[in-house]
């Protein structure tokens, strides 16, 4: 299919998610968008490359879902409300069936978060998908990496290691002599974590005003917690055996591999956030809209498995970066 008919297909399908603040969407040289008065724009971009960020052979709908999900996860980590996105597609051929599948996954997640696709670019080349998302956050309310303090407690929003477990099973299935069918050797529950991450947008928004720092876990909790520590000038002690999500991995992995998957496996897209404890926490809770509604367990039943971390000045362990 030619580039123009692909764009027509995208435009027709994208029209199902209309927003009043899109003055002009797909079809002109640029989109015209009306941000709400007084709000800051939060902008994030992420790219998925075939064979690097998803196994070759991943269903088009799963690629579409994930391309948007990883971006919404970045907005979630800032506590922003998603609104608009743009999509740059590099496609090896203009296969309309692939495009329809891709849009099924992409737009299902866009609808779930009321995100409008307002433009993009379509080129020919190796399969690669870049998405930019735009969201709103009130001035001073964004969740940043540099706000954590010694003494804070560290939380994660859900199970870790599932996506990495699926990749590990996929990699093993590729061993010589095992032939086709490697996809079937992946536990479907783990595969779901890899292919259909659920960005914690509602939790991120609820945490504005209560969390002191936040990051989404895309590179593994060790690395990502390390980024927060480095930005905040603190250290953290991580109890890997207390991380949530072990049950899903235990049928397939144990010992050091299980711990490694949980601590260093990327692609889970849960949130890792800090909260002040003691008097500071009470102050934070009493302050403003995030208040009680921001308590993670109250918001998200899968949420906030409490991992027993504790921030201590200069008490670095388990891979947190030395500031």
Q: Contact positions toward ligand ADP, by CB under 6 A?
A: 7, 10, 26-29, 87, 89, 117, 119-122
Residue 146 in the binding site for Mg ion (CB under 5 A): no
Shortest distance, position 11 Cβ to ligand ADP, whole Å: 7
Of ligand ADP, Mg ion, none, which one does residue 40 interact with (CB within 5 to 8 Å by kind)? none
* 4 phi-psi bin (left φ>0, alpha ψ -120 to 50, beta other): alpha
Q: Is 280 helix (H, G, I), strand (E, B) or coil?
A: helix
Q: How far is CA 103 from the centre of its chain?
A: 19
Residue 124 in the binding site for Mg ion (CB under 5 A): no
Q: What one-character-per-residue DSSP string does 182-214 give?
A: GGGGS-HHHHHHHHS----HHHHHHHTTTEEEE
Nearer to ligand ADP, 130 or 169 (CB): 130
Nearer to Mg ion, 73 or 86 (CB): 86
Shortest distance, position 199 Cβ to Mg ion, whole Å: 27
Q: Is 179 helix (H, G, I), strand (E, B) or coil?
A: coil
Nearer to ligand ADP, 6 or 201 (CB): 6
Nearer to ligand ADP, 122 or 192 (CB): 122
Which parts of 94-123 interact with Mg ion (CB under 5 A)?
Answer: 121
Q: What are phi and psi of 285, to 5 degrees?
A: -70, -40
* 178 phi-psi bin (left φ>0, alpha ψ -120 to 50, beta other): alpha
Of ligand ADP, Mg ion, none, which one does residue 27 interact with (CB within 5 to 8 Å by kind)? ligand ADP
Look-up: residue for tokens 């109890």?
A: 239
Of ligand ADP, Mg ion, none, which one does residue 230 interact with (CB within 5 to 8 Å by kind)? none
Shortest distance, position 14 Cβ to Mg ion, whole Å: 16
Nearer to ligand ADP, 86 or 218 (CB): 86
Token digits of residue 191: 């595969």
* 150 phi-psi bin (left φ>0, alpha ψ -120 to 50, beta other): beta
Nearer to Mg ion, 121 or 241 (CB): 121
Q: How many residues bind Mg ion (CB under 5 A)?
A: 1
Cα–Cα dist 224/319, whole Å: 10
Interface residues toward Mg ion, by CB under 5 A: 121
């Amino acid at each position: 299919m030619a580039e123009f008919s692909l764009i027509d297909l995208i435009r027709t399908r994208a029209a199902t998610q209309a927003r009043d603040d899109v003055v002009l969407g797909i079809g002109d040289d640029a989109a015209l968008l009306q941000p709400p008065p007084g709000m800051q724009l939060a902008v994030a971009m992420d790219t998925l490359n075939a064979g690097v960020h998803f196994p070759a052979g991943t269903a088009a709908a799963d690629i579409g879902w994930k391309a948007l999900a990883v971006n919404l996860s970045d907005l979630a980590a800032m506590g922003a409300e998603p609104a608009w996105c743009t999509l740059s597609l590099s496609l090896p051929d203009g296969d309309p069936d692939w495009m329809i599948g891709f849009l099924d996954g992409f737009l299902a997640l866009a609808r779930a978060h009321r995100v409008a696709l307002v433009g993009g670019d379509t080129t020919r080349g190796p399969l690669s998908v870049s998405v930019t998302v735009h969201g709103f956050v009130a001035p001073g309310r964004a969740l940043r990496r540099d706000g954590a303090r010694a003494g804070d407690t560290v939380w994660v929003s859900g199970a870790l290691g599932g996506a990495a477990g699926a990749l590990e099973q996929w990699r093993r299935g590729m061993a010589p002599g095992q032939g086709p069918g490697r996809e079937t050797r992946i536990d479907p529950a783990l595969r779901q974590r890899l292919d259909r991450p659920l960005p914690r947008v509602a939790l991120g928004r609820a945490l504005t005003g209560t969390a002191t720092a936040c990051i989404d876990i895309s590179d593994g909790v060790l690395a990502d917690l390390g980024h927060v520590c480095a930005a905040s000038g603190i250290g953290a002690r991580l109890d890997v055996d207390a991380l949530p999500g072990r049950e899903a991995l235990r049928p397939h992995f144990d010992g050091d591999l299980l711990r490694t998957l949980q601590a260093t496996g990327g692609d889970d897209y849960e949130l890792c956030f800090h909260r002040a404890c003691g008097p500071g926490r009470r102050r934070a809770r009493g302050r403003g809209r995030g208040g009680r509604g921001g308590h993670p367990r109250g918001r998200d039943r899968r949420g906030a498995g409490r991992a027993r971390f504790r921030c201590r000045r200069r008490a670095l362990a388990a891979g947190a970066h030395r500031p």
